[in-house]
Amino acid sequence: MITTAPALERALERLAQRPGGRVGVAALHVESGERMLLNPDAAFPMASTYKVPIAVAVLALVDRGRLALREMVTVQTEDFVIGGTIGDRLRPNEVAFSVRLLLERMLIESDNSATDVLLRLAGGGPAVTAHVHAAGFAGMRVDRPTAAIIAESYDATFPDDPQERWAYFERTKLAEGLEVPADAAARYEQTDADLTTPAAMTALLERLHHRDSTLLSRESTELLLDVMARCTTGGNRLRALLPAGTPVADKTGTFGGTANDVGIITLPDGAGHLIASVYIRGATAGVAASERTIAEIARTLYDYALFVAARNA
């Protein structure tokens, strides 16, 4: 069933006016199959939500025995970038983490250095894109490590020497995600890389929710969803206006006028599950307005999903 009730569509369109730019929504009440859509097939920059398909590609390698969760990996110079515990507190080539811990840092706190290590282990952006396309998600592509995204947006060149690279980030303190300068945000907005449609991301989350063994083993899926349930970056987005204690497994993304949150919400009293991917690009009203928009859209979808569940009971 693919429907968006006229009243719901009008509500989503009204909420989408707040941040400026363009808003895309692809939501699904899993048990009924009813969909709630706004620009679901438009392309949006993923920002850090692209860490979900990277995690899927890495865990697929674990499932095939080509990587092990306990394998220790050194954060190399090219992996080292601002954003998260590693880039903010450690130095390149001096620390190693297990693949599992890197996955946790990437998804829970959106650590960029952990992301770039894992993307390297997965074979780079083209390999991840080939993996998700082969899995059926043609509307999604991963192209660059976060270091390249940030460098291109800031029109900067990061040093190749480990100590110089560390000193560069200590000295410059580039804003990452939130409060990005207008010129960097504009460069990011013009990219045609690292894009998804909301529909493609929701389709990926739906396959994860169903523990689809053609995508990942059940063990890997349970690990991924457990880690996403501990995400610490989305308090003002999908989760913000939901009843306290609502289980949410999500991943956010932010850069300049781009603000996103994607996840799986467990509804109360056996009402099922709501999968929601909310994307905003080119926002002009600031991050706070974008976050409030995502939160209000999420609450609107939540209430409608409860209505659908009650109607179908």
Q: Region 144-149: what's the mean pLDDT?
A: 97
CA distance 31 to 137: 22
At 250, the amino acid letter reads D
Q: Region 289-312: what's the mean pLDDT?
A: 97
- The percent of residues in the chain predicted with pLDDT above 90, rounded, is 92
State which fold the 6-49+190-312 domain adopts. Beta-lactamase (3.40.710)
Q: Region 141-162: what's the mean pLDDT?
A: 96
CA distance 259 to 306: 26
Sign of CA dihedral 117, 121, 124, 128: negative
Common-topology check for domains 6-49+190-312 and 50-180 = yes
Contacts of 83 (CB under 8 A, 6+ apart): 110, 111, 112, 113, 146, 150, 176, 177
Considering the entire predicted model, what is its pTM? 0.96
CB–CB of 205/123 below 8 Å? no
Q: Where are the domains of the chain?
A: 6-49+190-312, 50-180
The CATH class of the 50-180 domain is alpha beta
Question: Rounded to 10 degrees, what is the CA torsion of 291, 46, 281, 139?
Answer: -130
| Bridge partner list, 289 | none
Tens-place pLDDT, residues 14-71: 999 999 999 999 999 999 999 999 999 999 999 999 999 999 999 999 999 999 999 9
